Amino acid sequence: MLLLLFVEYVASVTMFMHSHIIDGVVVSHSHFYAGSGEAPGHTHSSQQAKVLSQLTFYVALAATAAMAVAKPVRRLISTLVETCYETLLRSVAHSSLRAPPVVIE
């Protein structure tokens, strides 16, 4: 799910970048819309611009956190799989040993 969000974010940033003038300030951002970059064909209120900015920040933060966590989690899973595999190999290696004889009286 996180990968899908990241791919959508990258696609949105690269394909739908445009600018608006809001309160005399040029605000450049990206999101899906029908129009060209020069004439977006829509407007945003200052509140909508703030929401877009916050959403962009949270998506970027989630992608950064996922990248930071990915390597340690991958290392942990690798260690667990390796430990289980070694334990399995040790038990298979000794499976041919004979148990001591049983004396029945």
Q: What is the pLDDT of residue 50?
A: 78
What's the average model confidence in pLDDT over 56-83? 85
Taking CA atoms, 9 is separated from 12, 33, 36, 53, 71, in Å, by 5, 14, 19, 13, 22
The residue ranking higher by pLDDT, 49 or 3, is 3
3-state secondary structure of 34: coil
Q: How high is the mean pLDDT of the chain?
A: 77
Give pTM, 2 decimals: 0.41
> Cα(36)–Cα(32) distance, rounded to whole angstroms?
11
3-state secondary structure of 19: strand
Band (93; pLDDT cuts 50, 70, 90): low
Asked whether the predicted pLDDT for residue 77 surpasses 80, the reply is: yes
